[in-house]
Structure 1
Amino acid sequence: MSTSELLDVDALRRAIESADADAMAKLFAADATVVMIDQEHPPSRPQTIQGREAIRAMLDDICSRDMTHEVTHLVAGDSGVAYTEMCRYADGTRVEVAMLMDVRDGRITRQEGVQAWDTA
């Protein structure tokens, strides 16, 4: 069985789309790392978050925002999991995110993402 098959991708989709920070945080390993690249955090200086508790704080912030989340593609393979997500704030601002994840023992150990925001 591949490591990515051990991650419950249905639970991942449900947690993202229902903005359930607790359910998402439980999918991460205790020593997981999240790396995000966006306009404020370019590839030479990405935002890096270490550990499940710090990741949980990031997820709490994201999930507290007045926005919707839709997983538009989700692929699991031998080397990990990938998905794209479309987000829309109440004011109509849209954000698209592409994520790649490494998985070990059914938990996300590393997540790397790139996000793009609508500009005013």
Structure 2
Amino acid sequence: MLTKTKTVDGAAIKKAIEGRDGKLLSSFYTDDALVRVVDRNNPPSKPREIRGRAAISTFWDDICSRAMTHKVDTTIAEGDNLAFLQACAYPDGTKVVCAAMLELKNGLIARQTVVQAWDE
């Protein structure tokens, strides 16, 4: 029996992020995927690295459980690369912006680099 693999595209990313669907987001990654996060607490020389679908699932579950809104403003695809810009807001008005670059392998995310900044 064949299992249908969901191919990641801008519409799928937008739906999952804006719907705060951590389970769906996690399904977009290869088993050995790597997510690198660069922000104030994780500078380029020492980015946060989240390895493997299980750890990435925990990462997305945490983000999607927070009381905040997410909006994917722009997605750009070229070959096996997908990029998107995301704007987030907490109920207290704190804003976050995130730019992400994804490298796809067989339609799933193999590598992702996230650069984010937030109000302080």
Please indicate, yes or no, whether the TM-score normalized by the shorter chain is above 0.5: yes
In the aligned structure 2, how far is the partner of 1:36 from the partner of 1:101? 12
Size of the aligned set, in residue pairs, is 114
Deviation at 1:8, TM superposition (A): 3.1
Deviation at 1:79, TM superposition (A): 3.8
In the aligned structure 2, how far is the partner of 1:37 from the partner of 1:84? 14
1:55 aligns with 56
1:110 aligns with 111
1:20 aligns with 21
Residue aligned with 1:54, SS = helix
In the aligned structure 1, how far is the partner of 2:64 from the partner of 2:58? 10
2:91 aligns with 90
TM-score by length of structure 2 reads 0.92
Deviation at 1:10, TM superposition (A): 1.4
TM-score by length of structure 1 reads 0.92
Quick one: percent identity of the two aligned structures? 41
Higher relative contact order (CA 8 A, sep 6+): 1
Superposed CA deviations along residues 40-62 of structure 1, whole A, max 9, x for unmatched, are 00011100000000000000000
Residue aligned with 1:15, SS = helix
Deviation at 1:78, TM superposition (A): 1.2
In the aligned structure 2, how far is the partner of 1:95 from the partner of 1:8? 23
1:100 aligns with 101
Superposed CA deviations along residues 19-50 of structure 1, whole A, max 9, x for unmatched, are 10001000011100000000000011100000
Runs of 4+ in 1 over 6 A off after TM superposition: none
What stretches of structure 2 of length at least 5 have no aligned partner? 1-6
